[in-house]
Amino acid sequence: MSTRNDQSVPRSQELPGHGSTFGAMLQEFNVAARLLNLDSGIWKILTHPKRQITVSCPIQMDNGEIEVFTGYRVQYNITLGPAKGGIRYHPGVTLDEVTALAAWMTWKCAVAHIPFGGGKGGVICDPTKMSRREIEALTRRYIAEIVDAIGPEKDVPAPDVNTDAQIMAWVMDTYSMHVGHTTTSVVTGKPIEMGGSLGRREATGRGVMIATREAAKHVGIELKGARIAVQGFGNVGSVSAQLIARQGARIVAVTDWKGGVYNEKGIDIETLLAHTEQHRTVDGFAGGDPLPVDKLFGLDVDVLIPAALENQITMENAPSIKAKIIIEGANGPTTPDAHRHLHERGVFIVPDILANSSGVTTSYFEWVQDRYGYFWTEEEVNQRLERKMHEAFTDVLQTAIKFNVDMRTAAYIVAINRVAVVTRMRGMYA
């Protein structure tokens, strides 16, 4: 285990085929592991999922038919603490994708410096075609199938694509019924009334704001008056825009799935929020000019915040980007070749596992408060979050400077090193 690595990928770790999301994760991992000169033994451990669970969930549908849904829970690494990660309901869920997402949660929790490992769950289903009763039945059966593997000390799920606070309430109730007592800390992202944390809804956007502020400071841009463009106006995009505008910056452009808006003087975010509340889109907002969605990335702005979907910044649009800073609010918004191109052009990119890590940090705060049975004010949550995010940003920036690498590689170096150090200390149980 202590054999030094010869700078190449350990032989037992063959890369999965092209198109594998887990393969994409491994490529990012390998770059940082080489720079760290990671022991080959630890390299092998950290590139294998600790546990992958596959379950079949039979559900009686509203029409009386029985359907069987396949669900996964992957606990990628639990060296630093219980696995942590969301549950996704989507027809395209695969074990490969869930494993990659669980690995990314491992690195995100380690960068955020919280005592969690990484996990993720998914069920292959199309919730848009299911009734609320069917979704509740599926949730309860899925949790019953994995009930022995989850728990406050083992694995703590959370919402992800197509799962919400109500579904987390059913997760908590199902688990509690099985163990015979109310266990709020088995899941995060719950409604406030049953152990959710104040500040959780705004947490990811708040972290994006802090990352933007720190990045601007580093690059030497005055945030007050800076021009910002935001892709996506959902939970992350809208809160980021709101909080960054409160710092005195000008949000000049916002797009969503349907359309966009541009205002050179700065969009009034509060009015835009009221508009989207009513129309479910920023499209048609009167406080600016219409902006075609594909024009956002080429705008003359200081900061670009992709906060919508993965794979948005590609080699198709990266050459047109004028922003000096990109803050990845979304997960995986920049393709690896676009990232390389932008970094070489001197664009400062704050990677997803750092930029949006405040979401999981506040989930950690929820878990802590549930276990204490004592709840913090929103101000306390925000103060703690500010401290954690500032520390994480500083750790990654110092590492980027020390290794002379981009911030994404630096974030991986910080994360892998934290997990590797504890793996070494704990030693081999065999």
Is 120 annotated in the active site? Answer: yes
Tell whether residue 309 is a contact of ligand NAD (CB under 6 A).
yes
Candidates 75, 99, 174, 204: give the one binding ligand NAD (CB under 6 A).
Answer: 204
Other C-beta atoms lying within 10 Å of the C-beta of residue 409: 22
- Report the candidate in 54, 72, 55, 73 with the shortest Cα–Cα distance to residue 155: 73
Beta-carbon count within 10 A of 34 CB = 15
Residue number with CB closer to ligand NAD (312 or 399) = 312
Number of H helices, E strands in the chain: 13, 12
Which residues pair with residue 83 across a beta bridge? 117, 155
- By C-beta, is 309 or 421 nearer to ligand NAD? 309
The least distance separating ligand NAD from the CB of residue 146, rounded to whole angstroms, comes to 22
346 phi and psi, to 5 degrees?
Answer: 90, 10
Point out which span in 32-40, 68-76, 249-257, 368-376 binds ligand NAD (CB under 6 A).
249-257
Q: With respect to ligand NAD, which residue has the nearer C-beta, 49 or 199?
A: 199
**From 44, 84, 108, 120, the catalytic residue:** 120
Distance CA 75, CA 52 (A): 6
Within 10 A of 270 (CB to CB), how many other CB atoms are there? 10
| Chain residues 351-370 in contact with ligand NAD, contact rule CB under 6 A | 356, 359
CA-CA distances (angstroms) from residue 330 to 132, 308, 333, 359, 412? 27, 6, 6, 11, 17
Residue 331 interacting with ligand NAD (CB under 6 A): yes
Among 172, 211, 221, 330, binds ligand NAD (CB under 6 A): 330
Measured in whole angstroms, the distance separating CA 20 from the mean position of its chain's CA atoms is: 19
What's the rounded Cα separation, in Å, for the pair 335 and 354?
17
Q: Which stretch binds ligand NAD (CB under 6 A): 167-175, 251-259, 264-272, 336-344?
A: 251-259
Short-list 312, 305, 233, 322, CA closest to 271: 233
Our finding on whether 235 is near ligand NAD (CB under 6 A) is yes
- Decide if residue 257 touches ligand NAD (CB under 6 A): yes
- Return the range that interacts with ligand NAD (CB under 6 A); candidates 179-187, 229-237, 342-350, 380-388: 229-237
Of 47, 212, 255, 263, which one interacts with ligand NAD (CB under 6 A)? 255
Strand partners, 259: none
By the rule CB under 6 A, 122 interacts with ligand NAD: no
Which positions are catalytic?
120
Question: Can you give the binding site for ligand NAD, defined by CB under 6 A?
Answer: 204, 231-237, 255-257, 293, 307-309, 329-331, 356, 359
